[in-house]
Amino acid sequence: MKRLKKVLKWIGLSIGGLLLLIILAGLCLRLFASKPQPPGKLVDVGGFKLHINAVGERNHKPTLVIESGAGAPSEYYYWLGELLKDSIRVVRYDRAGIGYSEFSNNPRDPETVADELHTVLERVGESPPYILAGHSYGGHYIRVFKQRYPDEVAGLVFLDAPHPDIDERLNMPKPPSYMNAMYKALGVLGDLGVLDLYFRMAKRHILWAPGLPEKVIDRNQDYTLSGKYIWGYLKEEKGYADLVALSRKESKLDSLPVRVFSGTHLNKPALRKMGLDPNKIKTEREKMQREMASLSTNGKVFFLDGGHVTIFSLKENADIICSEILKLIEELEH
């Protein structure tokens, strides 16, 4: 019995020592590794800085402003900027706590988010009219911006953005209760540098965005493995219900140009595992995307050969989206 206790004690001390070494190595990595270098600039919007990256010359045409999905960095939308920069001004930015932007103690309610975007655009000298493009949750955010600054918005572009009633109409199950705790644990590991250490040693990337250039993927790795990124995402999630409720109020867009781009790829095994019929999900989802386009008398919907991210991370899909945006701008000019 004494021998067993000694063995268990030795095992416990060994595991504890190993964990301590991992944490120390992670902290050293956080302290001494090179810091991410933003491709744009950091702009103070009142006690913290937002990252904004603008390409293309300012001209008489509307500026495209891209609003990211939940937790998605502005780097995701690289091809939209690259393919349009010779024709129009394109602005990408990171909300507070996401990507290169600093974490903010301000509330993450949708009105605050819209006002912060408006502030950063003003402070870098951008001016309306804007065409707002929103990916995923960003589709809700651009509706809120349109409510608060209606005279500054010339058009809306939805990139695989959800209908406000999607959860109810698709009968989507709620996330498991342990998910929040798991994200918090990942946040702590990020703060300690352990996530960064693991992904560097495993030579793996945490973000899935096929089609983006390697230099963009590498930059993603730099800032997604810190706790800040995860805490920023969790803080946004707390305001999700209010965001959807406010988005739902923007139900009539008159003749405002609206373009809806939706991916046709679904994770069928995952849907079946949740007890959902992929064919019914696809049919209802397409119906909702058409409904979003019908918010305006000048609305169009496009179904692309891609998924939630690959509808714009793949260059061939981004090219389709950019072509339609340029056609929209031609319509506005005539």
- Residue range 144-176, pLDDT digits in tens: 999 999 999 999 999 999 999 988 888 878 877
| Residue 41, SS3 per DSSP | strand
CA distances from 59 to 50, 54, 128, 151, 183 (A): 24, 13, 11, 19, 43
Distance CA 205, CA 333 (A): 43
Query: Into how many domains does the chain fold?
Result: 1
pLDDT for res 48: 93
Q: Is residue 219 part of a domain?
A: no
Give the pLDDT of residue 183: 82
Q: What is the pLDDT of residue 207?
A: 66
Write down the mean pLDDT value for the chain.
87
Q: Is residue 214 part of a domain?
A: no
Question: Does residue 203 lie within any of the structural domains?
Answer: no
Distance CA 158, CA 174 (A): 24
Which regions of the chain are under pLDDT 70? 1-36, 202-207, 221-223
CATH code of the domain covering residue 284: 3.40.50.1820
pLDDT given for residue 226 in this prediction: 79
Residues of the domain holding 143? 41-176+229-333
**In the chain, % of residues over pLDDT 90:** 51
pLDDT of residue 269: 86
Instruction: Please check whether residue 198 lies inside any domain of the structure.
Output: no
Contact 107, 77 (CB under 8 A): no
pTM over the 0.85 mark? yes
Residue 155 lies in a domain: yes
